[in-house]
Chains A and B, each alone.
Chain A
Amino acid sequence: MSSEVLRGIDPRGYFATFIKEGVYPDGRGLLDEQKLVFKQGECGGVGSSVVSTQGVTVSCSIQASVSLVSDAPLVDIKIEGSQQLSEKDAEDCNSVLLSLFTNNCFVRRENLRCLDVCGKPLPLEWQLHIIVKVLSLEGNFLDAAVCALGAALVDAKLPSIVLNHSEGDESTIEKTQIQADYRTMHRLTLEEPLMCCSFGIFVDVNSDKKSEVLLLSPTLEAISVCRATCSVIVGKDDHMVMVRERGQFSSFSLLKKMCQITAERRHKFVESLQNVV
């Protein structure tokens, strides 16, 4: 009872007591990894996945359309808001995920060409319509959304396209000339999956050292007492793809540590995805 009173009156002091000992109030270590659970192929579309990690559960499904080759965007993402995720945050995450696509972090544009039965590219392109749904949100949405997108793309299976339109023909390709052959399915040629981890930087103002403590996957309650929060996305060859930081922290070595932790987590995720296929 007295600890709950302290929690309400002085949340910073309450957390400082635990963080000084290297644990969260629920007993988890400050840098302990949270379990990541994913499942593929159950939410419809040509590819889908459900990912649950760090208190966030996200479902992702991909619908496909056939279009002529052009320079229009080939991927559109719709993040459905919920009671837990506001429309503003949904749009913000939407722009982040779209920028990852435009930077070829998930799949290159040339790999979205339609293939015939022999695997030869056709003058048609796949348009991907991605729907992301929030099922549970107790942490950072991006942590689960990036993994869900990667897992859904790995799960995607697209049919062969039969095009009854000769190459020399100058007329427009008609809808009736396109057929989908489900006897031969193709998988997308993808870049390596990404991994996103969220961190918090806690500073104990009462301490003499005033050192910055790194927290992995802070809860919403812990975020409110952190000086800074940071999301790190790591991709192929452990390259830093994106860093989103709010607040302020001065120790640059913490950023390197964040990338290391995210890279280790990404290796486990990639290994699990390969075992599933």
Chain B
Amino acid sequence: MPTTRSNLSIPLTHLARIDDDRMETDSEEHKRANTAFRPLCVKCGVFGAQDGSGYAEFGNTRVLAQITGPDGDGKWEEDRAKITIELKGIEDSVKVAEYRAQLASAVSAVIFASKYPGKVIEIEITVLSDDGGVLSTALSAVTLAISHSGIENMGLMASVHVAMNSDGECLTDPSTSESEGAIGGVTFAFVPNLGQTTCVDIYGRIPLKSTSSLLEFAKQRACALVPTIHKAIVNSVRERK
């Protein structure tokens, strides 16, 4: 018998689905409030091998950040440290480029690079699973990694992902399925101690007059995260002693 050789290969996610009807009913009952986050877990200092490591989990979005450095032989003839960011775990190369640009901008704004002249700070971010809000989760993980590494920075950075529906309603930390009905959203990060914004990534079709209310809502939700992140950092300091 001649063997069949075919290039047909259909990813499972591309096939038509036959689902149980009860699943949709269950999801309606467990709808979240607009201001509530998904179940979250943050940890400062996951591994001992790295100079700094942080882990952030929002629902089914999980991101691990690891920092190596400041390191180098001093040949980098600059008056500030060079910060490199490597993003792993995302298949879409366009998304990788977008996220890396945002992460590099936010991290460079927070770290006192001029205190480490001629050094290199390498930040490696691994996305374990993606269910929406990867950029804000990555920013949270990087914040925890910076705190664990002891690199001097201007303060804790709180980040949040907020989506907006067509009726102007805001939804905090939506998952991929919850974002389907949204017209757009924002990933917002800022340093609460200074009231200084480090990342504003607005996407979609947000009306201009709704922008300020969206950002104000996002800022409030980011402030709600500060105690959780602060507690994780304090716990890691206690564990070290």
Contacts and interface: CB of A to CB of B under 8 A. Distances in A.
Interface of A: 42-44, 46, 48, 50, 55, 57, 59, 61, 63-72, 80, 82-84, 127, 133, 135-138, 158-159, 162, 173, 175-176, 178-183
A138 B10 contact: no
A155 B9 CA distance: 23
13 contacts: A42-B60, A43-B62, A44-B60, A135-B64, A135-B126, A136-B50, A176-B16, A178-B10, A178-B15, A178-B16, A180-B15, A180-B18, A183-B18
Contact of A48 (B4, B88, B129): B129
B207 interface: no
Sort A-B residue pairs by CB-CB distance and give the 6 closest, nearest first. Answer: A44-B129, A181-B18, A180-B15, A136-B47, A68-B6, A64-B12
Contact of A70 (B5, B10, B19): B5
B88 to A, nearest CB: 5
Given A178-B15, A179-B18, A67 B129 contact: no
Given A133-B89, A135-B47, A159-B12, A179 B17 contact: yes
Contact of A67 (B10, B49, B64): B10
Interface in B47-69: 47, 49-50, 60, 62, 64, 66, 68
Contact of A43 (B20, B49, B129): B129
B148 to A, nearest CB: 14
Nearest to A182: B19
A183 B22 CA distance: 10
Contact of A133 (B11, B16, B18, B128): B128
Interface of B: 3-6, 8-12, 14-20, 46-47, 49-50, 60, 62, 64, 66, 68, 86, 88-89, 122, 124, 126, 128-131
A183 B62 contact: no
Contacts of B46: 135-136
A241 to B, nearest CB: 28
A180 B16 contact: yes
Contacts of A44: 60, 128-131
B197 to A, nearest CB: 30
B28 to A, nearest CB: 18
Contacts of A64: 11-12
Given A43-B129, A55-B49, A180-B15, 19 more contacts: A42-B128, A43-B128, A44-B130, A44-B131, A59-B126, A59-B128, A61-B129, A63-B11, A70-B4, A72-B5, A83-B66, A84-B49, A133-B126, A135-B126, A136-B49, A137-B49, A159-B12, A175-B15, A180-B16
